[in-house]
Amino acid sequence: MKKILIAFNVFISILVIVNLIFVYTFFYIKKEYKNVNINVTKGTNFQQIYKKMGLNYGIIDKIYLKMTGSSSNLKIGTYRFNGKFSRYQVIKKIHNKDSNGIRLTIPEGFTKKQVYERIDALGLGSQEEIDNALKEIDFPYPHENNNFEGYFYPETYIFPEGTTTKQVMVTILTEFLKKFPSEKYPDKKKFYDQLKLASIVEAEVSDLADKPKVAGVFIKRLEIDMKLESDATLKYELGRQALRGELKAMETPYNSYKVKGLPPTPIGNPPIETFRAVEKAEVNDNLFFFTYKGKTYYSKTHDEHLKKRKETGQLK
């Protein structure tokens, strides 16, 4: 009987200790955050949220979230943390739907497909809803077959809960028109060609200093009726890096190794800085370029191009 009583007391002591650890961990330990934004999208769970907030996701967290039902039906939105928060306060803030709206970030160079996927993940509209919304919007630049590739301006947008898909698309396209007012570009075909080229340059190089030079190489090629030979154009259509055999053989308007001229549409959504680089392109005798270990090399002839690739170790 004495042993049973001792065992019972040990069990109770353990429960008390576990409970104290739980209370201390959840309610008293606080971590300080400085303007941290947590974007909750479709499928986001608290394990992912904990990771983004630098918190360890342990057995106590799993048990608490399971027992309280807090791990399901998370409300899509952007939750801003500024100050000291305990785990309980983090969970409560998200479950009270205390969000700062829905944060949509379109990175520079994102494709239409990627933009659509992100909008869908944030609950702002499915592909069908986006396409239907775009059909209702009067837009001054070319967008044949309702294709708005190139016009989803890279920026961070905050939308209040309840924003319609059309309102989302109007906001994004309005931002584009702020950067590129229609009256400033009366020659819409020329503008569209420059936007196409800007999207290719954006995909090829990231250094702003190289963008006018790379744009100049492509413009020079267009002037002498030479193929652009940009891997990025076929990569856009395939959604992955193109294989060498595909570059040589695949018949598609987006394979600039097979087809002369610009692709039918932009291959992404470039920022205004890249567009400006195309407008101020440095056109000279350079017809070739390659980037290796963060540096871009330029050449006038193919032999010179191959020589530089061998010298840098890119070609062996």
- Could you read off the pLDDT of 195-208 as tens digits, one per residue? 999 999 999 999 99
Q: What average pLDDT does the chain have?
A: 89
List C-alpha distances in Å: 225 to 190, 196, 218: 17, 17, 10
Range of lowest pLDDT (74-78, 183-187, 298-302): 74-78
Whole-number Å distance between alpha carbons of 221 and 234: 18
φ and ψ at residue 292, rounded to 5 degrees: -145, 125
pLDDT tier at 253, thresholds 50, 70, 90: very high
What gap in Å lies between CA 218 and CA 137, rounded to an integer?
A: 33
pTM of the model: 0.81
Note whether 212 and 196 are within 8 A (CB): no
- Is the pLDDT at 231 greater than 70? The verdict is yes
* pLDDT value at 277 more than 80: yes
Q: Cβ neighbours of residue 65 under 8 Å, at least 6 residues apart?
A: 46, 71, 91
Average pLDDT score over residue span 124-128: 96
Going by pLDDT thresholds of 50, 70 and 90, the confidence category of residue 70 is low
- 190-194-198 Cα angle (round to 5): 170
Q: 81: part of which helix (H) or strand (E)? A: strand 77-86
pLDDT-based confidence at residue 311 (cuts at 50, 70, 90): very high
pLDDT of res. 64: 76
Assess whether pLDDT exceeds 70 at residue 60. Answer: yes
Q: How many CA atoms lie within 13 A of 2 on its CB side?
A: 0
Q: In the predicted model, what is the mean pLDDT of residues 288-296?
A: 93
Q: What proportions of the chain, in percent to the nearest 5, are helix, strand and coil?
A: 50, 10, 40
Q: Which residues contact 266 (CB under 8 A, 6 or more apart)?
A: 149, 150, 195, 196, 198, 199
Query: What is the distance between the alpha carbons of residues 5 and 3, in angstroms, rounded to a whole number?
Result: 5
Q: Residue 316: its pLDDT value, please? A: 60
pLDDT at 20: 63
* DSSP-assigned letters across all residues of 243-300: PHHHHHH--STT-TTTS-S--SS-SS---HHHHHHHHT---SS--EEEEETTEEEEES
Rounded Cα distance between 302 and 78, Å, is: 51
Of the pLDDT bands very low, low, confident and very high (cuts 50, 70, 90), residue 119 is very high
